[in-house]
Structure 1
């Protein structure tokens, strides 16, 4: 059957009191993502870069995989040691746009994962601008006017990574924009009164 032979009908959504529920798209299994490495995905027609960050109990950054404790015979693995970061219930997956806003190339999943204090970051693989992975804010524009990344909400259910189909609203250049969700709610409540 060809695409031309398919007919489409409009989808009628039932009326809902309150906000419309967010559609979530199952993208992959958590085990498919390598800790501290990016992976590209297509979510509702948008290219998204996913990053898995190890939680408490995972092998910390900089620890050699299969590193031997002092006094262990060469080539002997300690009992129970894995060859990579073990998934935990506290692993976090973050999603930003795949498009590098400075070079307009879909490469962010190939970026370098790091941190600025407690803030997880990704550096563009092209010009090395650094972005906050949680908010998309450009932290180091490397001599250019800041441009920010769009972000997507992510949740984990039974080992499956789900990404919200619509992205979060884009950031403005206001330094306080989307800095803290609780602060956003209080600002929204303040502007409503």
Structure 2
């Protein structure tokens, strides 16, 4: 899990600084703390340009904090993360599970402010 190199996860307005761009691993996941919740950050570099997603790290089916270790891919026209345990697929855009519609990951707004990654907080 990322121990942010920022001052105690500084909160500015409704955005919490969680790490720096250099902490992200392109086309893979890393995990950071956001308001005492593990959040998996996915920084995707591709033909569509750079994309950044923030979803809960807790897999509701496996009951384990593993989503950040999942495999990113495309399935049925959806950009997804495959859980490393039971291999179910969650849409990165809205957290919905393709195989089990009753399962869903929480998602957060996320942005880059210069080289700082910020996650929207309530």
TM range (shorter): 0.7 to 0.9
Q: 1:126 to 1:163 in 2, by over 3 A?
A: same
| Structure 2 SS opposite 1:41 | strand
Equivalent position to 1:121, from 73, 80, 83: 80
Aligned to 1:138: 97
The reply to whether residue 36 of structure 1 matches residue 55 of structure 2 is no
The reply to whether residue 46 of structure 1 matches residue 43 of structure 2 is no
Superposition pairs for residues 73-112 of structure 1, below 5 Å?
90-112=49-71
Structure in which a larger fraction of residues adopt helix:
1
TM-score scaled to structure 1, two decimals? Answer: 0.53
Moved >4 Å (runs of 4+): none
The separation in 1 between residues aligned to 2:106 and 2:20, in whole angstroms, is 22
Equivalent position to 1:159, from 111, 115, 119: 115
Aligned to 2:105: 149
Superposition pairs for residues 3-42 of structure 1, below 5 Å?
23-42=14-33
Is residue 131–residue 138 contact of structure 1 (8 Å, CA) maintained in 2? Answer: yes
Give the number of the structure whose alpha-carbon radius of gyration is greater.
1
Aligned length: 111
How much is the aligned-residue C-alpha RMSD, in angstroms? 1.9
User: Deviations 1:64-104 (Å, cap 9, x if unpaired)?
Assistant: xxxxxxxxxxxxxxxxxxxxxxxxxx411101001001011
Structure in which a larger fraction of residues adopt strand:
2
The separation in 2 between residues aligned to 1:28 and 1:110, in whole angstroms, is 18
TM-score scaled to structure 2, two decimals? Answer: 0.82
Cα drift, residue 118 of structure 1: 4.4
User: Deviations 1:16-59 (Å, cap 9, x if unpaired)?
Assistant: xxxxx9610111112221111110110011110110111438xx
